[in-house]
Structure 1
Amino acid sequence: MEEKLQPIVQSLRELESDQQLPKSLKQKIGTAIRTLEQNNELSMRVSRALNELEELTDDQNMQAYTRTQLFNIISMLEAVTSS
């Protein structure tokens, strides 16, 4: 896995371990983590992970703090694609 993805995956793992997070959200975050850890082309992995995470931002079960963390992670991923 690329060095620039490591802090993003770490942030996603921290978010995934949040006890307050509903199971369905944890599963989608886990999917995004596995996507980023694959050996495909970087832009493809980032794009797929972004799609997964952006779907989560509309979830009504998510707390505002968690949504903010998710937006920060999405911003980090977008920075990877623009560099």
Structure 2
Amino acid sequence: MARKTKAQIKEERRVEVEQILDEVKNLLSRICADLGVPRNIRKIGQESIDTLEKLDDKENSPAIVASTSVSLLEDIIQDLNCPAHTRTAIYQILSLLEQIRDY
């Protein structure tokens, strides 16, 4: 069995990070579209989506973008107005974002 080259490993990692980010953006979009979620929480969710889309600039590393988004989302968890189902979704998003490392 042939060993993978560094380029192949890096490409696989990049694809994995993109899949995670797509899933996170989808979950955040659902939170932002839910009218049962307070406006300030939806706004922070949209800011987090915008932060994740900065990865397309190629200037920011995936780990930095993910950690910035995590810090935004941790503010939502502390909000007393956050519905329980939204808080659960945010915990799920945080666990996905913690998997992201630089490739």
TM-score (structure 2 length as normaliser): 0.74
Aligned-residue identity in percent? 28
- In the other structure, the counterpart of 1:61 is 81
Letter aligned with residue 29 of structure 1: G
Number of matched residues? Answer: 83
Deviations 1:37-62 (A, max 9, x none): 01221111001000000111010001
CA RMSD of aligned residues (A): 1.9
Deviations 1:10-69 (A, max 9, x none): 111011111101111111010000000012211110010000001110100011111111
Letter aligned with residue 71 of structure 1: Y
Structure 2: 5+ residue runs without aligned partners?
Answer: 1-16
CA deviation after TM superposition for structure 1 residue 82, in Å: 8.7
Distance in 2, matches of 1:58 and 1:70, equals: 11
Distance in 2, matches of 1:80 and 1:28, equals: 20
Structure 1: 5+ residue runs without aligned partners?
Answer: none
